[in-house]
Amino acid sequence: METKIFKLEQIQAAADLIKAGELVAFPTETVYGLGADATNEQAVKKVYAAKGRPSDNPLIVHIASLDTVEKYAAFISPDARKLMQQFWPGSLTMIFKLKPGAFSMTVTGGLATAAFRFPDNQATLKLIKTANCPLVGPSANTSGKPSPTTAQHVYHDLNGKIAGILDDGPTRVGVESTVLDMSTDEPVILRPGAVTKTQIESIIGSIETNHHHVGKDETPKAPGMKYKHYAPKAQVYIVDRETDWNAAYQWATTRTTRVGVMAEAHVLQDLKSADNVTKYSLGEGIAAASAKLFAGLRQFDDQPTIKAILVQAFPTNGLGNAYMNRLNKSAGEKHFKLS
Residues with Cβ within 8 Å of residue 102, at least 6 apart in sequence: 71, 72, 73, 114
pTM of the model: 0.93
Q: What's the one-letter identity of residue 228?
A: K
Sign of the torsion formed by the C-alpha atoms of 293, 203, 210 and 41 = negative
Distance, in Å, from the CA atom of 15 to the CA atom of 12, rounded to the nearest integer, reads 5
Q: Is residue 191 annotated as involved in ligand binding?
A: yes
Query: Which DSSP string corresponds to 169-198?
Result: -S-SS-SPPEEEE-SSSS-EEEE--SS-HH
Direct distance between the N- and C-terminal alpha carbons of the chain, in angstroms, rounded to an integer = 50
Per-residue pLDDT of the chain (339 residues; tens, 9 = 90+): 899 999 999 999 999 999 999 999 999 999 999 999 999 999 999 999 999 877 667 899 999 999 999 999 999 999 999 999 999 999 999 999 999 999 999 999 889 999 999 999 999 999 999 999 999 999 999 988 999 999 999 999 999 999 999 999 999 999 999 999 999 999 999 999 999 999 999 999 999 998 656 556 666 666 665 555 778 999 999 999 888 898 999 999 999 999 999 999 999 999 999 999 999 999 999 999 999 999 999 999 999 999 999 999 999 999 999 999 999 999 999 999 986
Q: Is residue 227 annotated as involved in ligand binding?
A: no
CATH class of 235-331: alpha beta
Q: Is residue 81 annotated as involved in ligand binding?
A: no
CA distances (Å), origin 153, targets 32, 55, 171: 9, 23, 11
On whether the CB atoms of residues 9 and 168 are closer than 8 A, the answer is no
Q: Is residue 177 annotated as involved in ligand binding?
A: yes
Q: Where are the domains of the chain?
A: 4-209, 235-331
Q: Is residue 254 annotated as involved in ligand binding?
A: no
Q: Is residue 230 annotated as involved in ligand binding?
A: yes
On whether the CB atoms of residues 4 and 98 are closer than 8 A, the answer is no
Distance, in Å, from the CA atom of 3 to the CA atom of 5, rounded to the nearest integer, reads 7
The secondary structure of residue 64, as a DSSP letter, is S
Domain 4-209, classified CATH 3.90.870.10, yes or no: yes
Q: Is residue 139 annotated as involved in ligand binding?
A: yes
